[in-house]
Chain A
C-alpha cells in the first residue's frame, strides 16, 4: 500500500501513489488493479509491450482520463479532487508530438509561456534557454514542418519544460526515433533526472528501461507483475553464468575437473559455470581453476530484461493486442 507521507522529513517521499487503479473500456479491462509508487527524484520506468496499459496509466495520472476505481495522489494532491493543482505541477510529453505545426519552434514555447502566465521577460529567457539546451536555436524561427523526428520530439520536451514541472510523464519518448536521436533523448532524460525532476517513463524497449530507470515496473495485461531496480529484477531469474573458453581440449578437461558444476561444450571448447553474486564468485572460479589452466577468453552473462519479461509473464515481450 502506497502512502503519501508528505509530513515525513527525512524518509524518501513519494511523488506518485497509485492504489488499486482500474480502467475498462466496455468489456475490455485495460488496468486490472495497478499499485505503484514513484519516489521523488527518481526515474520510474513503466515497461510493457503494446496494449499492456502503459498509455492508459499515463493518461489517468496526467488528468486526461478518469479512472474507474482506485486512488491516485500526485505530488500530495488527490487526483480526483485537485486535478487543477496537479496540472500546475506536472509536464506531459505524450506518444504523439504535441507541437503546434503552424507556429515556429520559438512561438510554440512562447504559447506555453503565455498559457503558464509567465511574465514576458521570463518567457523570453526561458524559451531561449530551452532552445539552446535542446539544440534548436537554428530552428527557432522555422515551423515544425521542416523539423526531423528527433527535433520535433526535442521541441515537444522543451514545451513540457517551459513551466519547470516537478514531475514529468514521458510516454514512449523514443518510439520512432533513429538511434542517434534516441541516444540524444536518453541524455536529455539523464540530465533531467540529475536536476532532481521526478520522471515516469514508459517504454517497450527493455534496454531503455535498464539504461535510464532507477526502478522498473513490469506491466503485463493491466497489472504490475514485478517491480524493482533493474538489478533486482535480473536477480529474480536464473541464468547468470560465467563463460570460459579454452585453446585446446586438454585445458577444457582440466577446467572441468576443477569446476565440476559447470556444463561443458566440447565442440566449442567452452565451459559454462553458474554464477551467484558478484565479483566474489568470479574470483572463486578463477582461484579454483588455478594457474595451470590456460583460459583463452572469459565472459560474464547476466540476464537482460527480455529474460526477465519472459520469466515473469511466461510470454515473450511481444505485442499484446486486444
Chain B
C-alpha cells in the first residue's frame, strides 16, 4: 500500500468514527438543524410579513421566504462550527489523540475525520432545512446546474469553516470554550450580512462591514442561483473567501497541533 492509500483509508475510518459519534450523540446534529429551522420559521412567519413588504425590489417580487432561505442555508453551514469545535476539543482533552499518535496511523487522519464528518453533518442538516423550507413555501427557480453550483459553494464553505472550527477546537482549553469561540461565526456574522435584509438597507458602518465580510458574497451567490437571478462575479468572491478561510483554519490548526505535539 502506498502512503497515499493508507492516508485515504485511515481518513475514511476516522470519518466513519465521526458519523458514529453523530448517531450516538445526536445533539451534534439536532442543534445544527434546529437553529436554522427556528430562524427560518421565525423570520418568515413572524417577522417576514413586514420585512418582505419593506424589501420590495430586492426580493425580485418573490415571497420573503425565497429571499431568506439562501441565507439560512449559509447559517446552517455556520451552525456546524459548534459541534465540530466541540468534537475536536473533546478528542484533544481526552487521551484518544495520544493513543492514535502512538499508532502507525496516517498523521492527518484524525483531523480529516473531523473535517469530513463536519461537512457530511452540514449536508444532512441542509437537506432537512431544505425540506422544511419547501413546506414553508420556498420555491427555488434553480436549474440542475445551478443546484450543483449551490452544492459546490455549500461544500466549499462547510470545508473552510470546518478547518476554522477545528483550529478553534484545538486552541480552546475546554469543550465549553471551544463551543463559545464559534458563536460569533454562528450568529454575529450571519446577522451582520445580507442573510435577513439587503446590506444597503443597513446603517453606514454596519453596511460597510456587511459588504466586506465573507457571508455576504456567499449568501448573495446562493440567492442568485436559487432565485434564478444573474450570478455575476459574486460566486468567485465567495469561493475566494472559502479558500482564504480554509487556508487560515488549516495553518492555525496545524500550528495548534504542533504546540501539543512538537515536530512529530
Residue total for A at the interface (Cβ-Cβ under 8 A): 33
Q: Known contacts A83-B264, A115-B10; decide if A64 and B103 are in contact (CB<8 Å).
A: no
Closest-CB distance, A50 to chain B (whole angstroms)? 18
Contact of A266 with B by CB under 8 A? no
The answer to whether A107 and B20 touch (CB under 8 A), given A62-B102, A65-B264, is yes
Contacts of B262 in A (CB 8 A): 65-66
Q: Answer whether residue B96 sits at the interface, using C-beta atoms and an 8 A cutoff.
A: yes
CB–CB B104/A88 < 8 A: yes
- Closest approach, in angstroms, between the C-beta of A84 and any C-beta of chain B? 6
Q: Does B99 contact A159, Cβ atoms closer than 8 Å?
A: yes
Please, which residues of chain A bring their CB within 8 A of the CB of B90? 101
Per-residue B-contact encoding for A133-161, CB less than 8 Å = 1, 0 else: 00000000001000000000000000110
| Interface residues of chain B: helix, strand, loop or mixed (majority) | helix
Nearest Cβ on chain A to B79's Cβ, whole angstroms: 20
User: Are B103 and A163 neighbours in the complex by a CB distance under 8 Å?
Assistant: yes
Complexed CA–CA distance, A90 and B102 (Å): 8
Chain B residues, Cβ within 8 Å of A90:
102
User: Known contacts A103-B24, A107-B20, A117-B9; is A64 also within 8 Å of B102 by CB?
Assistant: yes
How many residue-residue contacts, CB under 8 A, span A and B? 75
Q: Are B98 and A64 in contact (CB under 8 A)?
A: yes
A269 at interface by CB-CB < 8 Å? no
Question: What sequence of 0s and 1s flags, for each residue 96-110 of chain B, a beta carbon within 8 Å of any chain A beta carbon?
Answer: 101111111100010
The answer to whether residues A94 and B99 also contact, given A88-B104, A115-B10 and a CB cut-off of 8 A, is yes
CB within 8 A of A92: which of B1, B9, B17, B102? B102
Q: How far is the CB of A104 from chain B (nearest CB, A)?
A: 9
> Which of A64, A101, A111 is within 8 Å of B17, CB to CB?
A111
Question: A112–B17 Cα gap in the complex (Å)?
Answer: 11
Across the interface, which residues of A come within 8 angstroms of B104, CB to CB?
Answer: 84, 87-88, 116
Known: A65-B264, A83-B264, A143-B24. A103 touches B17 (CB 8 A): yes
Q: Are A98 and B98 within 8 A (Cβ)?
A: yes
Q: Does A99 contact B (CB under 8 A)?
A: yes
Chain A residues proximal to chain B, CB less than 8 Å: 62-66, 83-84, 87-88, 90-92, 94-103, 107, 111-112, 114-117, 143, 159-160, 163
User: What 10 A-B pairs have minimum CB-CB distances, sorted nearest first?
Assistant: A98-B95, A98-B99, A88-B104, A92-B102, A87-B104, A96-B95, A102-B24, A62-B102, A114-B13, A102-B21
